[in-house]
Structure 1
Amino acid sequence: MRLRLLLLALGTFAVGTDTMVMAGILGRVADDLGVSVLAAGQVVTVFALAYALLAPVLAAATARWPRRRLLLTALAVFTAANAVSALAPDYPTLLATRVLAAAGAALYSPNASAAATTLVPPERRGRAIATVLGGMTVATALGVPLGTYVGRADWRLTMWLVTALGAVALLGLAAFLRELPAPAQAVGLRERLAPLRDGRVLAAAATTFAFFMAFQSVYIYLGTAVHPATGGDADRLSTILLATGVASVAGSWLGGHVVDRWGVRKVLLTGSVVSAVFFAALPWLGRTMTGALVYALAVPLAGWSISVAQPHRLASLRPADAPLLLSLNSSALYLGMAAGGGTGSLAMALLGERWFPLGASALALVALGMAAGTTRPAAPAPASGGRAARQESSLPEAASRR
């Protein structure tokens, strides 16, 4: 049982590494393929956009597939696509392989979490999901800096690393994962998108989109933003990315605790303010290793707290539709990441390599305004109210009660 969960988590670790590691090797990709760093950054944009758009479509198209076959097919596509990425002779080929890798990732990640719940008794399902999703979180802490370090001489070695991770997970699951129960009900694409007709859900998804567009517009080009501190040295950049990953894990843990203590609204507002301030400060912080490390700790800590608060917010709006709402939140997150690539390159073109993080600061303030405008402070909790009384509701819902 534990081995199967760990193999599922290894798959999400490979997906998480593949999603984020390009930030550490953009310069080498650009040099090798003869394109600008801005063009190389669109490799991340294409992956994230394909993931966001294909996730609901592929989920609907494969809803009746046996779960084991679906997981193995998804990992096979993901692994093969990364192998072809490692062999890509030119920029257009690399872009095409990233779309294929995103398709495999979009099909694997949500189904791996669902599969985890069928492998354990009901009372252990939360821990099973946390184990599988932990692979994605650990990827930010270990996979990204490891991939950056491996690719310091040749970015293609990083792609081979991701390929190897996917292959081990694929072979392990093929050997040890038995057939899984089919879903009780196949949900079509129309049903998956139906919750967006609820204004509260749309507002929450839009906030996720805006914040992660801000975050990713800097993260993709972090090597450029901190170049004065690293001097182009891959080991120094790996250290900064390691700090970012550790802070991401800490932020994910912290977010779960502070959401219960403070409520969703305070976490969203505090995280957005902290992020906006540090984005604005990065043109100065990025000039020294100390400053870059301070940034690398502060922003992921705030950002991953928000990434916990937003699913909590959505699930509390319509608990019966929680799986669909969380899927929509994931798509909004990846759409934000995709838009962040274009936004970051535009900001760099307009403001220059030093000042482009100011664009992210402005976007974080937009996310702050959206969060403030679509949630409301919780009413004072009665003595016997407990946690449930502390949860915020969105403004449209509050208005419907008056």
Structure 2
Amino acid sequence: MPVRLLLLALGTFAVGTDSMVVAGILGPVSADLGVSVPAAGQLVTVFALGYALLAPVLATLTARWPRRRLLLTALAVFSAANALSALAPTYGLLLATRVLAAAGAALYTPTANAVATTLVAPERRGRALATVLGGMTVATALGVPLGTWVGRADWRLTMWLVTALGLAALAGLAALLRGLPPAPAAAPTLRARLAPLGKRRVLGSAGTTLVFFLAFQSVYIYLATAVSGATGGDADRLSVILLTTGVMSVAGSWLGGRLVDRAGVRRVLLAGSAVAACAFAALPWLGRSMPGALVYAAVVPLAGWAVSVALPHRLASIDPGNAPVLISLNSSALYLGTAAGGAAGSAAVAVLGGRWFPLAAAVLAVAACAVAAATTRDEAEGPRRKEAWRAVTPASSQQHCAASTRAAGGGDGVRNRPAGGGDGE
């Protein structure tokens, strides 16, 4: 495996950890800065919202930058922002640093995906993408539990951990990433990136993504509150639950790729949403004991990330020739759903209380299932559509669509042509 791919994956590991680990340290942040847990949860919201809104804009503004310079700039901004997060004396300043970190992440991830395809022969691009996107998957399985454990006494140590990861990737890529192909002469404009939203099927698919992740993240961000009866406030127990969640997210991504090929997108979307809705509804009882919390931590990520494979697969199959832009829209919808999930979860905790707020997520998951059912009724997945999809996207990368939705804010990672970069930059 080329070392440069592993360094790109280290960067996505840092970004993935940063985007999700705050959910595991809401208690320490709340206590240290004197804000409520729902207010602390808005740190996840502003990161996700910043990523969703900045990704297409920054991708357009920097489309002609040399890719090496762009990657190094993105990691420098990302690492500096996390260092500032670790030093932030007030809640307001911490919120501002999360927006800056989101800007660095939105610059880095789609560029890393695109650069990965230029470092290997065409027949190995799927595996290259799988490697880089694997950093996000490993972040879910290992980075978040590790960051939660490190920050159990002082949440600022978690931010320093993410800073160190970003700087390690920056140093490695600065030393080894050279000789990339030149940037493309013409790049999609912001208007061109957003134009597909004018199509009913594309809008319906993106809407399904938004509503599903609104439900999913409204619980995940406040999972420590939902399972407080099981953990008793013990950070080590919470780390075990988050580790289980991460491992099952990897399994869900793997399983989703195979189920989509065998059963079709519609069945995966409907079944996964229904299972998630049932688990959310049961969480007020499951979260009272450690075995119950672990059951929840196994079931929801398995169903949820299987759905997250089906979502971008469905969008790309609508117009295979325009797959990169469509997947970027899916990514933005996902992060908008995450941002809205933070706000919805905060409101649910305030209205329903720390035990019963997952019931709101159950209602949202049912709504996502209904949207998926209504908007996929006429989308029969015949062999022709599947073959068109496979002609655009390498098979091995299809199995990692769940990771790409968390990562590819600009969606360029699945292009069959190089996304650019400057020679010697």
Shorter-chain TM band: over 0.9
Paired residue secondary structure (2:152)? coil
Q: Please say if residues 25 and 152 of structure 1, whose CA atoms lie closer than 8 Å, have aligned partners that are also in contact.
A: yes
- Deviation at residue 55 of structure 1 after TM alignment: 0.3
- Deviation at residue 45 of structure 1 after TM alignment: 0.4
The residue type equivalent to 2:286 in the other structure is L
Instruction: Indicate yes or no: 2:206 matched with 1:205.
Output: yes
Q: Please say if residues 66 and 179 of structure 1, whose CA atoms lie closer than 8 Å, have aligned partners that are also in contact.
A: no
Distance 1:153 1:86 in 2: 14
Q: Which residue of 2 aligns with 1:117?
A: 117
Q: Please say if residues 33 and 90 of structure 2, whose CA atoms lie closer than 8 Å, have aligned partners that are also in contact.
A: yes
Q: Which residue of 2 aligns with 1:396?
A: none
Map 1:116-195 onto structure 2 (within 5 A).
Answer: 116-184=116-184, 185-195=186-196
Map 1:203-282 onto structure 2 (within 5 A).
Answer: 203-282=204-283
Q: Which residue of 2 aligns with 1:107?
A: 107
- Deviation at residue 387 of structure 1 after TM alignment: 8.1
The residue type equivalent to 1:311 in the other structure is P
Q: Which residue of 2 aligns with 1:6?
A: 6
Q: 1:222-259 CA deviation, whole Å, 9 max, x = no partner?
A: 00000000000000000000000000000011111000
Distance 1:199 1:386 in 2: 21
Cα distance change on mapping 1:390 and 1:273 into 2, 3 Å: farther
Q: Please say if residues 263 and 390 of structure 1, whose CA atoms lie closer than 8 Å, have aligned partners that are also in contact.
A: no
Distance 2:375 2:182 in 1: 37
Map 1:6-45 onto structure 2 (within 5 A).
Answer: 6-45=6-45
Instruction: Indicate yes or no: 2:58 matched with 1:58.
Output: yes
Q: 1:141-197 CA deviation, whole Å, 9 max, x = no partner?
A: 000000000001100000000000000000000000014223433111111101111
Paired residue secondary structure (1:354)? helix
Q: Which residue of 1 aligns with 2:375?
A: 374
Identity of aligned residues (%): 74
Distance 2:87 2:328 in 1: 32
Distance 1:316 1:265 in 2: 12
Distance 1:60 1:348 in 2: 38
Q: Please say if residues 317 and 386 of structure 2, whose CA atoms lie closer than 8 Å, have aligned partners that are also in contact.
A: no
Distance 2:380 2:295 in 1: 36
Distance 2:91 2:125 in 1: 43
Distance 1:378 1:76 in 2: 44
Q: 1:84-125 CA deviation, whole Å, 9 max, x = no partner?
A: 000000100100000000000001001100000000000000
Deviates more, 1:236-245 or 1:347-356: 347-356
Cα distance change on mapping 1:183 and 1:316 into 2, 3 Å: farther
- Relative to the length of structure 1, the TM-score reads 0.94
Cα distance change on mapping 1:232 and 1:179 into 2, 3 Å: same
* Structure 2: unaligned runs, 5 residues or longer: 390-425
* Structure 1: unaligned runs, 5 residues or longer: 392-402
Map 1:330-341 onto structure 2 (within 5 A).
Answer: 330-341=331-342
Q: Which residue of 2 aligns with 1:388?
A: 386
Q: Please say if residues 380 and 390 of structure 1, whose CA atoms lie closer than 8 Å, have aligned partners that are also in contact.
A: no
Q: Which residue of 1 aligns with 2:92?
A: 92
Distance 1:316 1:183 in 2: 27
Distance 2:147 2:35 in 1: 21
- Deviation at residue 376 of structure 1 after TM alignment: 2.4
Extract structure 1 runs of 4+ deviating beyond 6 A: none
Distance 2:388 2:4 in 1: 37
Q: Please say if residues 379 and 389 of structure 1, whose CA atoms lie closer than 8 Å, have aligned partners that are also in contact.
A: no
The residue type equivalent to 1:221 in the other structure is Y
Distance 1:380 1:222 in 2: 36
Distance 1:351 1:105 in 2: 34
Map 1:305-316 onto structure 2 (within 5 A).
Answer: 305-316=306-317
- Deviation at residue 389 of structure 1 after TM alignment: 8.1
Distance 2:381 2:78 in 1: 49
The residue type equivalent to 1:51 in the other structure is Y
Cα distance change on mapping 1:122 and 1:157 into 2, 3 Å: same
Q: Which residue of 2 aligns with 1:395?
A: none
Distance 1:137 1:389 in 2: 27
- Deviation at residue 57 of structure 1 after TM alignment: 0.4
Distance 1:18 1:334 in 2: 14
Q: Which residue of 2 aligns with 1:361?
A: 362
* RMSD over equivalenced CA pairs, Å: 1.5
Distance 1:379 1:312 in 2: 14
Q: Please say if residues 264 and 381 of structure 2, whose CA atoms lie closer than 8 Å, have aligned partners that are also in contact.
A: no
Instruction: Indicate yes or no: 2:73 matched with 1:48.
Output: no
- Deviation at residue 386 of structure 1 after TM alignment: 8.2
Deviates more, 1:340-349 or 1:182-191: 182-191
- Deviation at residue 380 of structure 1 after TM alignment: 9.1
Aligned length: 388
Cα distance change on mapping 1:44 and 1:380 into 2, 3 Å: closer
Q: Please say if residues 88 and 94 of structure 1, whose CA atoms lie closer than 8 Å, have aligned partners that are also in contact.
A: yes
Paired residue secondary structure (1:178)? coil
Q: Which residue of 1 aligns with 2:394?
A: none
Distance 1:281 1:117 in 2: 43
Q: Please say if residues 65 and 182 of structure 1, whose CA atoms lie closer than 8 Å, have aligned partners that are also in contact.
A: no
